Structures are given as C-alpha cells and as structure tokens.
A and B are shown apart, each in its own frame.
Chain A
Amino acid sequence: MEKTVNQKAWFLVLPVLILVAFSAVIPLMTVVNYSVQDTFGNNQFFWAGLEWFEEMLNDDRMWDALGRQLMFSGIILLIQIPLGVFVALNMPKKGFWASFCLVFMSLPLLIPWNVVGTIWQVFGRVDIGLLGHTLAALGIDYNYTNDPFAAWVTIIVMDVWHWTSLVALLAYAGLQSIPDAYYQAAKIDQASRWKVFRFIELPKMMGVLMIAILLRFMDSFMIYTEPFVVTGGGPGSTTTLLSIDLVKMALGQFDLGPAAAFSIMYFLVILLISWVFYTVMTNLDKREG
C-alpha cells in the first residue's frame, strides 16, 4: 500500500509533546541545569561542569543511603511478594466474604501516605502507642527513636501493612482468571496442592506478579513520606533512605548543585534497575514459551 506523506501530521503529535514537555522534560532539565552550576545566592550562577557529580560519587553519604535503600527495597519485596501470594491463595473465591476481603484489604491503600506514617508513629510510641506500650509491658526493649533495629522493624512492618494488599489484590486477580477446568484436571491427575501451585497457579500469576514486583520496587525505592514521618531518617542516619537524604540536602542544607546531581543519578538508577528487571523477566517468559 502506498503511504501518504503529509508533514502536517506532525501537528497531531504536538499536544502530547507539549504535555510531556511540561510534565517531565522541562522539570528534569531545570534539575540538569542546577546540577552543572554553582550559586552563592542572589540568583547568580557559575558553570561547574561535572564537579557535583564527581563530588557525589566520592561521597560516602550517598553510597550509604543507596545501600540502605537497596536493603529496604530488597527486604520489603522478599516479604510482600510471598505474603501477598499467600494471602491471595487463601482468600475466598466468591460470595459475600470475597467482596468483604477485597474491600477490607484495599483500605490501607486508600490512606494518605503521611497519615499512614502518623498512624505508625503514634502506634509505636512507648508512652502512648498501643504497640510500643504493649511491647514495653511485655518486657521487650523496643524504642524506634533510639534503636536502629527497632526503627528498621517499624518502617518495614509499616510498609508491609500498607502495601501487601496491592500484591495480594494483583495476585488474586491472576488467580481468578484461571478456569475451573485446570483445577479439575489437576484433581484427575492426582496433583498435590504444591504441584497445583507450582504448575498451574504460579505460571498463571507470573504476568501480574511481574507487574507487582516492578511496582513495589519502584515505589519502595522512591519512598519518602512514611519513614520520614515515623523516624525522620533517624536514629542518626540509620533510616535515611535515598529520598530522605535528597530532601535533607536540597531543602535542609540548600545544596542545590549536589542535590541536583544526586537527583539525576537517583533517577538513572531507578530507570536502570527497572529496565534490568523488565528485560530479565520478559526474557524469562520468552525462554519458557
């Protein structure tokens, strides 16, 4: 078929280009702008080249935050994915209780993030919080304001509470799409419960689980509000994750140059890891097919 050449067609793409420019490209470019300049106030800027990038790459502070961040994302993925799948497997398939579970489990997802943080901040307090006070009464030494381990446990449990439902709901949707015939065939073939999971449910859930992992990774890697409200990055800097550190640097210390360089590298890291995730998993999918 002959293709019509009409350069006016470019105008049709224009609205999208404008939208993307304002929502992503221009803000990103201002950050790029800051990252290669220095300022001493008065809106006067000096060319600094890649100085800030070099400085940040040689700064232990960013590497430490990155290490903590990777640990945080790793731990919550290791807990939330299996737990979410487990919850989904044990949810009722239909009827009133299925709807009830769905609504009940969606509740944490509907709570604003800073409220989630506040809830856990209060919940964990040793003086007035139900959790903190109970643990203290049981003789367990728990205080998230001065014990790094307790602080880590608190923010991880909080994240698990907040987000496991998302994984469970996605996994549940995957499970619901499996026709009954598969389970009936498995019965006829005398497959054990584990084999039903391994050869029917898991393969059918793979697609949604991939999305769940990607979503949970990206979200947890960018997490700011909840741990900031609970621990403020402390005690010391033991729970200072990447974005908390970034905000401290940019707004607390007003180091715009280093913070901008930091932002760009942060963005690239997320992009890179997400891309690797996606490529590995789609290839896995193809190889199996």
Chain B
Amino acid sequence: MAKITLDNLAHSYLPNPTSEDDFALKELNHDWDDGAAYALLGASGCGKSTLLNIISGLLHPSQGRILFDGKDVTHAPTAERNIAQVFQFPVVYDTMTVHDNLAFPLRNRGRDEAYVAQRVQEIAKMIGMEDMLRKKARGLTADAKQKISLGRGMVRKDVNALLFDEPLTVIDPHMKWELRTQLKKLHHDFGHTMIYVTHDQTEALTFADKVVVMYDGRVVQIGTPEELFEQPEHTFVGYFIGSPGMNVLPAQVEGTTARVGSQTLQLAGGYKPSSGKVEIGVRPEFAKLSQTEGLPVSIRRIEDVGRHKIIRATFEGHDINIIAGEDDRVSADMNRVSFDPGHVNVYVNDWRIAPDRSQSVGEAA
C-alpha cells in the first residue's frame, strides 16, 4: 500500500498540445492518502478514465510526475507498479478455473505452489467464492466474474492500490448493492487504497470517504459527500450531485443581498462586488414553499417520487426545483418560495466564492 502523489500531472492525446483545450486531463496536483477510499466522479469523457490509466501505467502522461510513496514511477511499466485494476467489463481468463484465475498473477511472478494455494484460499474466502474454485470461469455470471477480477487484484500482498473503472456497469441492479457493500467491507477490513471511477453519484457517495469530482478534464472539487452537498465549489458539482441538482440562478450580489430579476434574497454573509458571471446556487432541499412567506413563484408540476415531492416551478423566469417532504401538503395557492440563507452559495464564473469576512454576517443565518 502506498500514498500516491500526482505532481503537475497533465495529459493530452494529441502529440503537440498547444492550448489548454487540447488536454484531456488538465494540470493536477493531488495526494491520494494511503488506505483511503476515493471515488472519481464525473460525466462520460471528463478525463476520469484517463487519470486512472495514468495511475495504473497503461498510459504515460504528457507532463508531470506520479509518485508512489515518494518514488517516481511516471515511466515505470504497469507490472512494476503493483496496481490492481477492475475494468468495466469483467476480465476473466475463460478457459481457466476460478482457482487458476486467482492464482494467475502469483504464478506469473514465480511464487511457489504451496503459497499460491494458501493465498487463493484466503482470497476466495474474502470474495465468498470458496465453493466455486473448481468451476471454469467461462460459465459464471457477470457479478461472479467481476468478483474474480477483484480477487485477482487482491491476491498479491504487495498491491499498492486497487483501481476500479466503473466496475458495476454490467451488473444487475440488485447485485450492485451487494457488491458495493462487499467492496466497502473489504476496504474496511483490509485497508487497501482504493480509487473508484464512476459516473453514478449514488455509487460514489456511498463508497468513498472522499469524492473527487471531475469536469472537462479538471478536478473541480475533492471532498466528503457532505462537503459536496453543502458547499459545492463549482456549479457543475452542484448540478451533478443531488437529485435534482442545485438551482443555479443568475444574480447581482451586493453586500448581503442578491438580486434575481426583480426580487431580492438575503445571503448569510457579505460579498464584495465582483466582475464576471455571477450566480447564486441553492439546493432544492433548502428551498421552501409556502402560502405567505417568501418570494412569488409559480408551480408548473409536482412529482411524487415516494420519499419526497419534487416541485418544478418558475421563479423570475427561471426553472427551479423545490423539494418538499412526503407528508408536506402542497396546494395550488402556495405561490411563495423562501431560500435558507445559510445554504445559498455565490458563484463567480462557475466557482464558489466565500463571503467576505470584513463585511457583517447577515442576521438570517
């Protein structure tokens, strides 16, 4: 196990990248702590698989260094890095038995058979496949195959990190929960450094200690699930995480108030005037519908999703979402909305800015 350091790392698939747009992965500095579980979250094509392949050594970065425990491995081949990777589509050696599949990485490294047999037993127990060891891998279900690829990664004791590239894509929904729980347990019990690439926020938020959100080749926020929810650093994080995502409204911010169209909202802190595109972001969970309090809003539609109700509404010409509890009564005459000032974030050019300390904090917080 190791701490993985990315130092000024960037990658372009073009031979001579000129502008920043040419980079699939934009410059990045980050430490992956030893033994932590990370999720790499982002839409398709945002560079998360590129980053993963650079860490595993399947791809060599155009610039920057990658260090395992301080040792430069930027140009080391995959085999030397002692990385395990589980791919989107289960990779098993069809003609081998489950036992031989699990033994394969050890045998390739010339370990003696007694050790191999003992280690395979241990791993089979970990992934719950002890009674399947004699079976051929070919006829197994997708989730069993995915467990084998995981086991093949963990069978080596010197493995530095376990990488997962959207490993649950081809798994049936009811098995997804089980595998994810099992994975979390393995992380808890054995403490491997795990990096889990996904575009599914539920997967990311339930699996990881820390979620790394990527957007357009850039890491936009690294934080715990709570941080991503409460304080999205970038409008993309606000929009991508949450269901539905954050409401983002163009506004003029002056001191402790924000003007959206003809309406004025109270903010929790004071802000200096800033140039560029200014927006406020507030999650649907922190918007409240009522008959009397707040600003005028018109309801377009109400969706009852079971646990809660989602109200699709129009506020000052912008579409917004409001979440109301399942037992809250929503009626047609509820045409006012109020936003919790403590959860209204201000964004300039898509990046969150913190309230200015020199200005007084609003009373409504």
Contacts and interface: CB of A to CB of B under 8 A. Distances in A.
Given A288-B95, A289-B139, A187 B79 contact: yes
Nearest to B90: A181
A195 B91 contact: no
Interface string A158-191: 0000000000000000000001011011011111
B77 A182 contact: no
Given A187-B58, A188-B56, A190-B105, A203 B94 contact: yes
Interface stretch (B80-88, B318-326, B349-357): B80-88
A192 interface: yes
A184 B138 contact: no
Nearest to A202: B95
A56 interface: no
B193 to A, nearest CB: 15
A184 B87 contact: yes
A38 B163 CA distance: 78
Interface in B83-116: 83-85, 87-89, 91, 93-96, 104-105, 108-109
For chain A, give the interface size range: 10 to 19
A288 B91 contact: no
Contacts of A181: 87-89, 91
Given A181-B91, A289-B139, A188 B85 contact: yes
A289 B87 contact: no
B91 A185 contact: yes
Contacts of A288: 94-95, 136, 138
B93 A200 contact: yes
A184 B78 contact: yes
Contacts of A192: 108
B78 A188 contact: yes
A191 B152 CA distance: 13
Interface in B314-363: none
A187 B88 contact: no
Interface string A251-275: 0000000000000000000000000
Contacts of B96: 199
A208 to B, nearest CB: 15
A279 B318 CA distance: 68
A182 to B, nearest CB: 5
A188 B108 contact: no
Given A288-B136, A289-B136, A289-B138, A188 B93 contact: no
Interface string B144-184: 00000100110000000000000000000000000000000
A199 B108 CA distance: 13
Interface in A184-237: 184-185, 187-192, 195, 199-200, 203-204
Contacts, number: 57
Contacts of B105: 188-190
Given A179-B89, A203-B94, A191 B149 contact: no
A182 B91 contact: yes
A285 to B, nearest CB: 10
A187 B85 CA distance: 10
A189 B104 contact: yes
B93 A199 contact: yes
Q: Which of A190, A191, A200, A203 is most buried by chain B, counting CB atoms within 10 A of its CB?
A: A190
Nearest to B91: A185
B135 to A, nearest CB: 10
Contacts of A191: 104, 108
Given A182-B91, A199-B93, A188 B109 contact: no
Nearest to A204: B94
B110 to A, nearest CB: 10
A190 B93 contact: no
Contacts of B139: 289
Nearest to B87: A181
B100 to A, nearest CB: 9
A203 B92 CA distance: 12
Interface string A122-153: 00000000000000000000000000000000
Contacts of B58: 184, 187
B152 A189 contact: yes
A191 B89 CA distance: 19
Contact of A188 (B84, B88, B95): B84
Interface in B276-323: none
A66 B116 CA distance: 52
Q: Which of A182, A185, A192, A199 is most buried by chain B, counting CB atoms within 10 A of its CB?
A: A185
B52 to A, nearest CB: 11
A283 to B, nearest CB: 15
A184 B93 CA distance: 13
Nearest to A191: B108
Contacts of A289: 136, 138-139
B50 to A, nearest CB: 14
B142 to A, nearest CB: 14
Contact of B83 (A182, A188, A195): A188
Nearest to A181: B87
A185 B109 CA distance: 15
Nearest to B104: A189
Can you list the 5 inter-chain pairs with the closest CB atoms, starting with the nearest? A181-B87, A185-B91, A190-B108, A189-B105, A187-B78
29 contacts: A181-B89, A181-B91, A184-B56, A184-B58, A184-B85, A184-B87, A185-B87, A185-B91, A185-B149, A187-B58, A187-B77, A187-B78, A187-B79, A188-B56, A188-B78, A188-B83, A188-B153, A189-B104, A189-B105, A189-B152, A190-B108, A190-B109, A192-B108, A199-B93, A199-B95, A203-B93, A203-B95, A288-B136, A289-B139
Interface of A: 179, 181-182, 184-185, 187-192, 195, 199-200, 203-204, 288-289
Given A185-B91, A188-B56, A203-B94, 4 more contacts: A181-B87, A188-B83, A190-B108, A199-B104
Interface of B: 56, 58, 77-79, 83-85, 87-89, 91, 93-96, 104-105, 108-109, 136, 138-139, 149, 152-153
